[in-house]
Structure 1
Amino acid sequence: MRCPFCAAEGSQVKDSRASEDDTAIRRRRACGECGGRFTTFERVQLRELTVLKKSGRSVPFNREKLEKSLSLALRKRDVDEAKVARMVSSIIRQLEASGETEIPVDTIGAMALDALKDVDLIAYMRFASVYRDFNEAGDFRSLLDELEADGEK
């Protein structure tokens, strides 16, 4: 592993352990050249996923972008980081299990909405307002009506 501080080749693993959600290995490393310490994560990847954007363009799937979107929707809500990491891991496992390598962005958004609906309805509404491109207050009212029809409060 190349050092992020001095770009020297090879670093020494000082400590390895499972991450909080048991979906990755967390490794503490030290650079033999500059002495810098840093952390890496090793995750299982069943296949390379590509996201098909609405514009027709394909981009590599980015776990951090999904995590950031969910965290933004959950901002100032009482949901811990480990729960967000588990939601992201669950969505990725579902995507990989589908057998498809090119996933439409709408599919990922719908899966994120489903995950948020089970965790926090305010975050669900925040995410839906961006994902469904709300333009007016009536859009929120329609979403609330949908939630009430589904038995959500």
Structure 2
Amino acid sequence: MKCPYCGADDTKVIDSRPAEENNAIRRRRQCEKCNKRFTTYEKVETIPLIVIKKENIREPYDRGKIEAGILRSCHKRPVSYDQIVQAVEDVENTIFNMEKKEIPSQVIGEIVMERLKQLDQVAYVRFASVYREFKDVNTFMDELKKLLK
């Protein structure tokens, strides 16, 4: 592992521990040359997942898009960063546990909405309003009525 500070090839592992609910290993490393410390994460490489977008356009799965959507929905809400990271991990685990090579973006959107409904109802409505493309107040009210039942 190259040192991110000086580029040296010689680094040693100081500490290893499980991370992300035992789905990864967190390693603290120290450079043998400059003595600076840094953290790396080791994860199992998964099969590439293709997302089928509207109009049958296919693109590689991007965890960052899910994270960005959840972050926007939770903006100025009493939701911690750790809760957001956990929600993203839960969504991702659900998706990969389906063991499919291709998945429609609509399925991902529904999974995200279900997770947000558990996390924060305002964040859920925010996400749903963009995801379901609410056209008017009545559509918005219909979704709120479903949530209140």
> Aligning the two structures, in what range does the TM-score lie when normalised by the shorter sequence?
0.7 to 0.9
| 1:95 and 2:101 correspond | no
Q: What secondary structure is seen at the aligned counterpart in 1 of 2:56?
A: coil
Name the amino acid aligned to 2:15: D
The equivalent residue for 1:107 is 107
- Residues 24/126 of structure 1: CA separation in 2 closer, same or farther (3 Å cut): same
- Residues 7/103 of structure 1: CA separation in 2 closer, same or farther (3 Å cut): farther
The equivalent residue for 1:133 is 133
**Contact 2:51/2:59 (8 A) holds in 1:** yes
Structure 2 stretches of 5 or more lacking a match? Answer: none
Name the amino acid aligned to 2:57: R
Q: 1:21 and 1:76 mapped to 2: Cα distance?
A: 27
Structure 1 stretches of 5 or more lacking a match? Answer: none
Identity rate of aligned residues, in percent? 38
The equivalent residue for 1:14 is 14
Q: 1:3 and 1:69 mapped to 2: Cα distance?
A: 33
**Contact 2:26/2:41 (8 A) holds in 1:** yes
The equivalent residue for 1:77 is 77
Name the amino acid aligned to 2:64: E
Q: What secondary structure is seen at the aligned counterpart in 2 of 1:147?
A: helix
TM-score by length of 2: 0.80
Q: What secondary structure is seen at the aligned counterpart in 2 of 1:27?
A: strand
TM-score by length of 1: 0.78
RMSD: 2.5
Quote how far apart the aligned CAs of 1:75 are.
2.0
Segment of structure 1 superposing worse, 107-116 or 13-22? 13-22
Equivalent pairs, count: 149
